Structure 1
Amino acid sequence: MDIRKLFGANTRRFRLDLRLSQEAVAERMGVDRAFISSMERGLQNVTLLTIWQVSQALEVRPAQLLEEKASKIRA
């Protein structure tokens, strides 16, 4: 699987687990909602800093965002 799509799918799943909107995650990260949308669709080639920011916003370890079968265990 394309790593961008994997990251996006995990981001979306963890976001939905927390019952957060894309806008709420964007607010936590200080970015635009459209950026969250494009990440979740696998259109963004994110940086390490962005992976860290997403993990903090979604309360997971950064590595969980890149796992093929990410667990639902929180950091």
Structure 2
Amino acid sequence: MEGELQKVVGRNLRLYRSFRGVSQEAFAERLGVHRTYMGAIERGERNLSLRSLERLAETLDLDPLELLTELRDQDSAPDGKQ
């Protein structure tokens, strides 16, 4: 399915960011990007470079693979902690 990985990354990014209590605007500012660009990433509309994926993961203190791996249990915290 074309673009499915972009959507997985976007959903995971939104979940991890929200779980940490960081607004989309504050997160975008921390990265030095516009809030609308961050929204497009979270909606799976942007095709990220590997370096961009690394920057997102670093900012959230994650392994980049955590953004690429679809979370199965949406009821639990994204990092496995309840």
1:3 deviates by 0.4
Aligned residue number for residue 33 of structure 1:
35
2:14 to 4, 9, 12: 12
Q: Which segments of 5 or more consecutive residues in structure 1 lack a partner in the other structure?
A: none
1:56 deviates by 1.4
Q: Would you say how many aligned residue pairs link Structure 1 and Structure 2?
A: 74
- SS of corresponding position for 2:48: coil
1:6-65 CA-partner distances (Å, limit 9, x unpaired): 000000000001000111111111111111100000000000111011111212111100
Aligned residue number for residue 42 of structure 1:
44
Aligned residue number for residue 24 of structure 2:
22
Q: Give the alignment's TM-score, normalised by structure 1.
A: 0.88
Q: Identical aligned pairs, as a percentage?
A: 36
Counterparts of 1:41 and 1:7 in 2: how far apart (Å)? 9
Q: Which segments of 5 or more consecutive residues in structure 2 lack a partner in the other structure?
A: 73-77
1:54 to 2:56 alignment: yes
Give the letter for the 1:72 counterpart.
D
Q: Give the ranges of 4+ consecutive aligned residues of structure 1 lying more than 4 Å apart after TM superposition.
A: none
The structure that is helix-richer by fraction is: 1
Q: How does 1:63-74 map to 2 (within 5 A)?
A: 63-69=65-71, 71-72=78-79
